Each structure stands twice: as structure tokens, then as C-alpha cells.
Homo-oligomer: A and B are copies of this chain.
Amino acid sequence: MSDTITDLSISALADLSGVSIDTLRYYERANLFVRPVRRDEAGRRRYGERDVIWVQFVTRLRATGMGITTIAEYTRLARLGEATNPERLALLEEHREHVVEKLRETQASLDAISYKIAEYERKVADL
């Protein structure tokens, strides 16, 4: 049994999360961390398992197009504790709607592209 992840360096977190070192520092400046990032005696960042999970979730939000300021707002609510659960829920639900809609649009565009591809396939096959 391995111990819980603790005291990761910024490069270790970068490797683990796929988010670059510079971007991790940028996220911190943009207030995307719920609690201040821990530091060691020398002032270097130390991340724990919760940070890893959090960064992975932020990556999901980013991958679906949520902007940095909206994530910062969500994080702000999280800092305020359980009382903001309904607001956080509402924020995520609204975002989900956006994502579902964008997924639909992308699928429609994909269909149009596939149709075009089929045309080219016919032409290239010399029909």
C-alpha cells in the first residue's frame, strides 16, 4: 500500500496533471486554488493529493471552455464553505448546458464535414 500523495514539487504536479509549470503558477495568480498553495522552508511550492484532484478538475473545466474568471468565481465560492453549495451547483449546471449545446453544434459541424468528405471520396474514386 502506498501512502497518500503529499509534498509534490511543481514539476511533479506538472508531470502528473499535464499542466505546465508556468500555467500552474499562472493559475495560482489567477486565484484558481481554493487554499493558498503550501510552501516548504525554502519557499518552494508543495502540492498534496487534494491539489492534484483539484487541478485535474480545473483541467476538465478548461477543456470544456470555462473561462479562467468563471473558474475563479467557482473557487471563490468554494472558499466560502458549504453554504455556497447551491450556487456552485447552479454554476456547474449552467456550464453543463453550455457544454451540451456546444457538443451538439460540434456534432452538426462534424456531420457537414463528413458529408463533404463523402463527396471528395466519390470524386477521387472517379465517378
Contacts and interface: CB of A to CB of B under 8 A. Distances in A.
Q: How many copies does the complex hold?
A: 2
Residue with the greatest number of chain B CB neighbours at <10 A, chosen from A93, A103, A109, A114: A109
A89 B124 contact: yes
Interface residues of A, number: 32
Q: Could you tell me the dominant secondary structure of chain A's interface residues?
A: helix
B85 A123 contact: yes
A22 interface: no
Contacts of A68: none
Interface of A: 57, 60-61, 63-64, 82, 85-86, 88-89, 92-93, 95-96, 99-100, 102-103, 105-107, 109-110, 112-114, 116-117, 120-121, 123-124
8 contacts: A57-B116, A60-B113, A61-B113, A63-B105, A64-B109, A85-B123, A95-B113, A103-B103
